[in-house]
Amino acid sequence: MARIMVVDDSGYARRVHRRILEDAGHQVVEAGSGAAALEACFLEKPDLVLLDLSMGDISGLEVLSHLRELDPHVRAIVVSADVQRSTEALVRAAGAARFLGKPASPDTLLEAVDAVLDEVPQ
């Protein structure tokens, strides 16, 4: 299966996503901040990044922007409690493959992960 990085400043959210993803057979790497995510992505080279928007140090949009500078083909799913259409538009414009409202059900999360992993990187 895939190596997926879960980036969220909430330990609870990381644990929930880890459990869902590992139960589906994926390997999970965690980062509790935007800065940690940037470093870990460079070292771990995940197949997919599951990214929260609201974090204390660096916003998820900034993290996504930096990740896309490092690797224009990085695949990311943003998961956020901010489900406004304008937020989704910003996330999509920043290069996220999917945008999910938080909390995402296990089925919704896995469907999005599978769909993004099945897409051919451009």
| Exposure string over 53-79, b if 16+ CB within 10 A, otherwise e | bebeebebbebbebbeeeeeebbbbbb
- Predicted confidence at residue 56, as pLDDT, reads 81
- Owning domain of residue 20: 3-118
Q: What is the pLDDT of residues 96-106, one digit of tens each?
A: 999 999 889 99
Q: How many domains does the chain have?
A: 1
- Domain of 111, CATH number, reads 3.40.50.2300
* Position 122 confidence tier, pLDDT thresholds 50, 70, 90: low
Q: What is the pLDDT of residues 28-79, one digit of tens each?
A: 999 999 999 999 988 989 999 999 998 888 888 999 999 999 888 899 999 9
- Predicted confidence at residue 85, as pLDDT, reads 85
Tell which wins on pLDDT, 114 or 120. Answer: 114
